[in-house]
């Protein structure tokens, strides 16, 4: 699996670097590389688990797909566990990995407030990668929406 991920990353990196190569080589920020080499909270919750909200955003054709899952304590309304799986460039992986760290322990309302600008700033994302941070914001919002819709099926 790691080899596949590396192959995907290399391919995506080459595809993305092509338009930038005219103005010199670009590198991923060390924070992004850290999330790529040591991603936090990778995985999925079992389908049988309760209290889980799943957000699936992006599209393979665009080069980025993020699946972010939150496990919520029904009593406290807080996110007690988070998992993610991302197909995409290093910035997309880092954005979603960072998001999982960021929302752990938060209430759903607090988690829904996290903006893409915070992620972009924290990871020092270059202009062309700001879209990755937006996708991570979309992912957590989708997960929250999914969890809430499961709790109140009559709405």
List residues binding other proteins (CB under 8 A): 18-19, 22-23, 59, 61-62, 116-117, 120, 127-128, 130-131, 133-134
Which tokens go with 134? 């937006």
Q: Is 132 a catalytic residue?
A: yes
In angstroms, what is the minimal distance from the CB of 87 to other proteins? 14
Q: Which of 62, 80, 124, 128 is flagged as catalytic?
A: 62
Judged by beta carbon, residue 44 or residue 113, the one nearer other proteins is 113
Helix (H) or strand (E) holding 83: strand 79-87
Instruction: Please tell me what DSSP assigns to residue 73.
Output: -
Q: Is 62 a catalytic residue?
A: yes
For residues 15 and 4, what is the distance between their CA atoms, to the nearest angstrom?
A: 16
In angstroms, what is the minimal distance from the CB of 3 to other proteins? 26
Judged by beta carbon, residue 1 or residue 59, the one nearer other proteins is 59
Judged by beta carbon, residue 6 or residue 124, the one nearer other proteins is 124
Which among 18, 17, 39 is positioned nearest to 27, based on CA atoms? 17
Contact 84, 68 (CB under 8 A): yes
Judged by beta carbon, residue 46 or residue 61, the one nearer other proteins is 61
In angstroms, what is the minimal distance from the CB of 107 to other proteins? 24
Q: Which of 92, 123, 125, 132 is flagged as catalytic?
A: 132
Q: Please give the full DSSP string across 23-68, using - where no structure is assigned.
A: G------HHHHHHHHS-SSBS---TT-SSEEEEEEEEGGGTEEEEE
Contact 53, 148 (CB under 8 A): yes
In angstroms, what is the minimal distance from the CB of 86 to other proteins? 17
Catalytic residues: 62, 132
């Amino acid at each position: 699996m790691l080899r596949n991920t590396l192959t995907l990353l290399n391919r995506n990196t080459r595809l993305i670097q092509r338009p930038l190569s005219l103005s010199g080589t670009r590198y991923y920020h060390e924070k992004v590389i850290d999330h790529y080499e040591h991603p936090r909270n990778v995985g999925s919750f079992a389908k049988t688990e309760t209290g889980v909200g799943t957000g699936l955003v992006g599209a393979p054709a665009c080069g980025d797909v993020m699946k972010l899952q939150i496990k919520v304590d029904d009593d406290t309304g807080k996110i007690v566990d988070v998992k993610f799986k991302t197909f995409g460039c290093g910035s997309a992986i880092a954005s979603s990995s960072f998001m999982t760290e960021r929302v752990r322990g938060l209430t759903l309302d607090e988690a829904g407030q996290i903006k893409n600008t915070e992620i972009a700033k924290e990871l020092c994302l270059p202009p062309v990668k700001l879209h990755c941070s937006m996708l991570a914001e979309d992912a957590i919002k989708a997960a929250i929406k999914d969890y809430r819709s499961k709790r109140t099926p009559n709405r």
